[in-house]
Amino acid sequence: MDEYGRYLLLLLLFVVASFTRAQSLPYDVHWLGGPTTIERDGSPSLRKATDIYCYTGTSKNLFALWQTVKFHIRIRNDQFRQYFAESPEEVFKEYTEDSYGWSSVVNPFQRKPQKSVSVSLFTPTCMAINTKEKHTIELQVLRVDLWRVILMAAGVALIFSSRALCGNPVFFYLCGIFVGVFASFMVLVYYVSKLLPRKTLTYGILIGGWTVGVYLFQQVWENMRTLLLTYQTYMFWYTLVISFVSFLVCYRIGPPKNERSKNMVMWTLQIVGVLMVFFSSEYQEASAAVIIASLVSKYFPQSLLNRIQGYWRRKFPPKPRLLTSEEYYEEGARETKMALENLRKYCSSPDCAQWKVMLKLNDSKRFASFVEGNSHLSDDEVLDYEAYAFSLERTRKPVPMANSTRNMEISDDDTDSDDD
C-alpha cells in the first residue's frame, strides 16, 4: 500500500471513530458563545437525545465590566425543570437521576424554575430542560447592563458623598422611614411567634430539621409578590401609617450631632457603597480596583497633593499667556473702574478725614462731586483726551503685514507710555 492509501485509511478510521462516539453519546451539546436562539419541541418521541445548552464563557477584559449573560426560556407555562452545572456530563447526570424518580424526594433547596437565569461570565455554564412543551432557548448577551452601571455609579457616589450625607436631615429622615417600614415586619413576626405554642414549634423544628424553616421562608418569599398584589389597599395604608410614625420618631430624636455618631454613619454608608460597587460587576478584580481608586482619591492627603502639584509646576512651569490689545484695554478699564469705586467708598467711610483732604485740594467742590458718585473727569478733560487720541490715530504710520501684530503691540505700549 502506498503512502496516499495509508493516509486515506487513517482518515477513514478517524471519521468512523468520531461518528461512533457521537452516536454513543446520549445527549447533544450546543456550545453558545453569543446571542443565539434555538427552538425545540418538548415531545419525548421526537427527541433522540437530551439537549444540553452550554455557554462557553468569555475572557476577562474591561469590556466585560458591565456585561450580563442570561439563559431565557420562552414557554407557555411553568411545567419544566432546569439543571445547571459546569460541564455537560454533570448536567446529564442530574437530568438522568431526576428522570429515574429521584425528584419525588422533597428538596427544600431546589429552586423554582425560572424563565430568565443569569449565568457566570467567565466560567462555562451548561443547562438542560426537562419539559413536554414546545419551548425556545435564547442566550441573551447584554454588553452594557444599565442596572450594573447604575449600581456602580450609585456606590461610587455614596462613597464620595458619605461625609455630606451623614449630617443631612433629609437623608436622615428618608433612612429612618425606610428602616421603620421594613423593621416593622420584624415586630409583626415577633408578636406572631408569641402566639404560637412553643413546645409544638420546638418539636416541629426538631423533627423536620432546619430545612423546614428554609423551605417555609422560600415559599413566603415566592408568594410575597402575590400577597402584595392581592392586598394592595392594606399594604398602602400600612406603609403610610408606619412611614408617618417613623417620621415622628426621627423628628423627636433629631439628626446626629455628635461627631462620633456622624463618623459611624459615614463609615456605614461607605461600607454600603463598597458592597454596591463590588457586586455591580462579575469582573471582581476590576470592581475591586474601582473601590481602591475611589477610597484613595477620597482619603488622599491634601498636603501631599499640594506638594505634588507644586513640584510639577516647578518642574514643568506653565507658559504665560500674553494679553491681546483688546484684553489689555478691557482689563485696564475694569480695574480702573473698580479702583475708583473703592476710592469713592473709602472717602465716604468714617476712616477718611474728609475735611483735611478738602483743605489740601485746589477744587474741593470737584472732590465732593466725585464722592457723591459723579465722574472724576470734567467735560474739558474728556474733550482734550478724545482730540489727542484722534490726532494720534491719524499720525500712526502703517506697518508691514508680516510684523503687524508685534508692531501694533509695541506701538500700543508706546502710546500707553505717552499717555502716562
Dihedral angle, C-alpha 236, 239, 245, 250, nearest 10 °: -140
Are 176 and 255 in contact by the 8 Å Cβ rule? The answer is no
- So what's the pLDDT on residue 418? 42
Least confident span in 131-140, 194-203, 244-253: 194-203
Question: How many beta carbons lie within 10 A of that of residue 124, not counting itself?
Answer: 15
- So what's the pLDDT on residue 96? 83
Residue 154: pLDDT band with limits 50, 70, 90: very high
Ordered by start, the domain boundaries in the chain are: 3-143, 148-280, 350-419
Instruction: Give the model confidence (pLDDT) of 353-412 as tens digits.
Output: 878 888 888 878 888 888 888 887 887 887 887 887 778 777 765 544 444 444 444 444
Residue-wise burial string across 384-404, b where 16 or more C-beta atoms lie within 10 A, e elsewhere: eeeeeeeeeeeeeeeeeeeee
- So what's the pLDDT on residue 107? 46
- So what's the pLDDT on residue 401? 46
Q: What topology is assigned to 3-143 in CATH?
A: Jelly Rolls (2.60.120)
What mean pLDDT is predicted for residues 69-93?
85
Residue-wise burial string across 191-212, b where 16 or more C-beta atoms lie within 10 A, e elsewhere: eeeeeeeeeeeeeeeeeeeeee
Find where cell 473703592 sits. Answer: 342
- So what's the pLDDT on residue 103? 43
- So what's the pLDDT on residue 412? 43
- So what's the pLDDT on residue 335? 92
Instruction: Give the model confidence (pLDDT) of 241-262 as tens digits.
Output: 888 888 888 888 888 888 888 8
State how far the alpha carbon of 28 is from the alpha carbons of 15, 24, 57, 73, 125, in Å.
Answer: 18, 11, 19, 18, 15
Are 12 and 36 in contact by the 8 Å Cβ rule? The answer is no
Half-sphere exposure in the Cβ direction for 405 (13 Å, CA):
5
- So what's the pLDDT on residue 275? 93
Least confident span in 34-38, 85-89, 185-189, 342-346: 185-189
- So what's the pLDDT on residue 219? 58
What mean pLDDT is predicted for residues 58-71?
87
- So what's the pLDDT on residue 151? 93
* Start-to-end CA span in the chain (Å): 113
Nearest alpha-carbon partner for 68 in 115, 135, 122, 136: 122
Would the pLDDT of 35 be above 60?
yes
Question: How many beta carbons lie within 10 A of that of residue 137, not counting itself?
Answer: 20
Give percent of the chain with pLDDT exceeding 90.
10
Are 94 and 82 in contact by the 8 Å Cβ rule? The answer is no
- So what's the pLDDT on residue 155? 93
What mean pLDDT is predicted for residues 192-221?
54
Would the pLDDT of 414 be above 60?
no
Residue 225: pLDDT band with limits 50, 70, 90: low
Instruction: Give the model confidence (pLDDT) of 82-126 as tens digits.
Output: 888 888 888 888 888 775 544 444 444 455 567 788 888 888 888
Would the pLDDT of 308 be above 60?
yes
Would the pLDDT of 42 be above 50?
yes
Q: How far is it, in rounded angstroms, from Cα 235 to Cα 224?
A: 12
Give percent of the chain with pLDDT exceeding 70.
72
What are the cell numbers at 139? Answer: 442566550
Q: How far is it, in rounded angstroms, from Cα 336 to Cα 326?
A: 15
Q: How far is it, in rounded angstroms, from Cα 31 to Cα 34?
A: 9
SS3 string of the chain?
CCHHHHHHHHHHHHHHHHHHHHHHCCEEEEEECCCEEEEECCCHHHCCCEEEEEECCCCCCHHHCCCEEEEEEECCCCCCEEEEECCHHHHHHHHHHHHCCHHHCCCCCCCCCCCEEEECCCCCEEEEEECCCCEEEEEEEECCCHHHHHHHHHHHHHHHCHHHHCCCHHHHHHHHHHHHHHHHHHHHHHHHHHHCCHHHHHHHHHHHCHHHHHHHHHHHHHCHHHHHHHCHHHHHHHHHHHHHHHHHHHHHHCCCCCHHHHHHHHHHHHHHHHHHHHCCCCCHHHHHHHHHHHHHHHHCCHHHHHHHHHHHHHHCCCCCCCCCHHHHHHHHHHHHHHHHHHHHHHHHCCCCCHHHHHHHCCCHHHHHHHHCCCCCCCHHHHHHHHHHHHHHHHHCCCCCCCCHHHHHHHHHHHHHHHHC
**What residues does 53 pair with on adjacent strands?**
30, 127
Which of 103 and 42 is assigned the larger pLDDT? 42
Question: How many beta carbons lie within 10 A of that of residue 129, not counting itself?
Answer: 22
Residue 413: pLDDT band with limits 50, 70, 90: very low
- So what's the pLDDT on residue 415? 41
Which of 8 and 260 is assigned the larger pLDDT? 260
Would the pLDDT of 75 be above 70?
yes
Dihedral angle, C-alpha 257, 263, 269, 271, nearest 10 °: -160
- So what's the pLDDT on residue 385? 77
Would the pLDDT of 24 be above 70?
no
Average pLDDT of the residues of the chain: 76
